[in-house]
């Protein structure tokens, strides 16, 4: 049997609960005024019910508004895609920006669907991406006041065009010089990458201002200081897992340090630094110390900086700045450097 001395409890706002308890205690203390306290209880109960219903209705209205807005955006983007495809893939005025917007939107929605396990939605989005990739064409066609510029044009108006470049790629790169034929890009190289007199085996800081082309996938993308092998290296990498940035130290093939930031989108403008010294290892990302450890053995023979892990896992991404410091910086200096 329930304890008759214990006030009634109804989960709700503190004001409602106070009224309920007051009504119960008042009715018990003054039976002659029980009707008054019962009325007080009813008001409290009605207030609780009304507030819950209002909160539910507000949440449903917000969800419906969000759904309608997303539906509107998707409808407009689908119209743009259909117009481009029905036009044989030709791009009209302003279409480069429009197609870029469509591709970016679909790419984001595709990864959201994959992460949430919605395979049907992911397949639908990927089909639209494939349509864009297979039909979109681009060209530059200068015009004069009298018509199209071509070999028969006799007008005196003219224009200069330089730097137009079309690539079969998921992203744009720097200019590839060509003449009359298409050219395959030569791999970028990093010359004069250091020596043993530059890099300190005992302590140092590796800093980079980078961003990924995609958040996760495609393997680890690494920049390192090493002896020319993966076995002895200081590594900073954008992990194959989305929103993960790693700092690793390997000595004689053994993974001595492996600390991570697990919360930062890799496609953002990232200022990342790792500090290494025996008993003092830290990872800083965009002004915050994300991870630290005191254990680990340092490698020896560090003599080169490379856009890989010393052997493989090449870095594919954007790199605005790359610096090495000897000796280590203070935590305050690292915070300032990465902010």
**pLDDT tens, 221-269?**
999 999 999 999 999 999 999 999 999 999 999 999 999 999 999 999 9
Q: Which two tokens stand for residue 111?
A: 């990864």
* Helices vs strands, H then E, count in the chain: 5, 12
Are 295 and 282 in contact, with CB atoms under 8 Å apart?
A: no
**pLDDT tens, 27-81?**
566 656 556 666 666 666 666 666 677 777 778 878 887 777 777 766 766 666 5
pLDDT at 5: 45
pTM score over 0.85 = no
Are 339 and 209 in contact, with CB atoms under 8 Å apart?
A: no
Helix/strand/coil for 209 = strand
Higher pLDDT, 179 or 324: 324
Q: Which residues contact 148 (CB under 8 A, 6 or more apart)?
A: 141
Q: Is 284 left (phi over 0), alpha (psi -120 to 50) or beta?
A: beta
Higher pLDDT, 156 or 107: 107
Q: What does the alpha-carbon distance between residue 339 and residue 336 come to, in Å, rounded to a whole number?
A: 5
* Phi then psi dihedrals of residue 115, to 5 deg: -65, -35
Q: Which two tokens stand for residue 250?
A: 């390997």
The beta strand positions in 149-300, using DSSP E, are: 203-211, 221-226, 233-238, 245-251, 254-261, 270-277, 280-285, 288-293
């Amino acid at each position: 049997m329930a304890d008759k001395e214990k006030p009634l409890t109804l989960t709700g706002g503190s004001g409602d609960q106070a009224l309920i308890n007051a009504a119960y205690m008042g009715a018990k203390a003054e039976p002659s005024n029980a009707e008054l306290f019962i009325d007080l209880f009813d008001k409290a109960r009605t207030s609780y019910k009304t507030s819950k219903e209002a909160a539910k209705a507000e949440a449903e209205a917000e969800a419906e508004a969000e759904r309608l807005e997303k539906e509107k955006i998707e409808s407009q983007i689908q119209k743009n895609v259909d117009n481009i495809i029905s036009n044989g893939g030709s791009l009209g005025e302003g279409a480069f920006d429009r197609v870029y917007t469509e591709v970016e939107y679909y790419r984001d929605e595709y990864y959201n669907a994959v992460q949430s396990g919605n395979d049907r939605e992911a397949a639908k989005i990927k089909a639209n991406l494939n349509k864009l990739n297979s039909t979109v064409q681009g060209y530059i066609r200068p015009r004069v006041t009298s018509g199209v510029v071509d070999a028969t044009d006799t007008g005196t108006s003219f224009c200069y065009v330089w730097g137009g470049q079309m690539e079969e790629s998921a992203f744009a790169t720097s200019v590839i010089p060509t003449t009359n034929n298409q050219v395959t890009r030569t791999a970028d190289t990093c010359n004069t990458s250091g020596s043993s007199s530059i890099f300190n085996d005992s302590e140092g800081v590796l800093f980079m201002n980078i961003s990924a082309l995609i958040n996760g996938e495609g393997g680890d993308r690494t920049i390192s200081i090493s002896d020319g092998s993966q076995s002895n290296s200081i590594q900073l990498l954008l992990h194959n897992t989305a929103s993960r940035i790693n700092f690793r130290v390997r000595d004689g093939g053994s993974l001595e340090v492996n600390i991570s930031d697990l919360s930062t989108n890799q496609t953002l403008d990232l200022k990342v630094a790792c500090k290494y010294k025996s008993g003092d290892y830290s990872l800083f990302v965009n002004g915050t110390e994300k991870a630290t450890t005191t254990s680990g053995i340092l490698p020896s023979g560090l003599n080169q900086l490379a856009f890989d892990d010393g052997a493989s896992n090449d870095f594919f991404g954007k790199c605005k700045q790359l610096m090495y410091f000897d000796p280590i910086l203070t935590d305050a200096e690292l915070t300032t450097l990465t902010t």
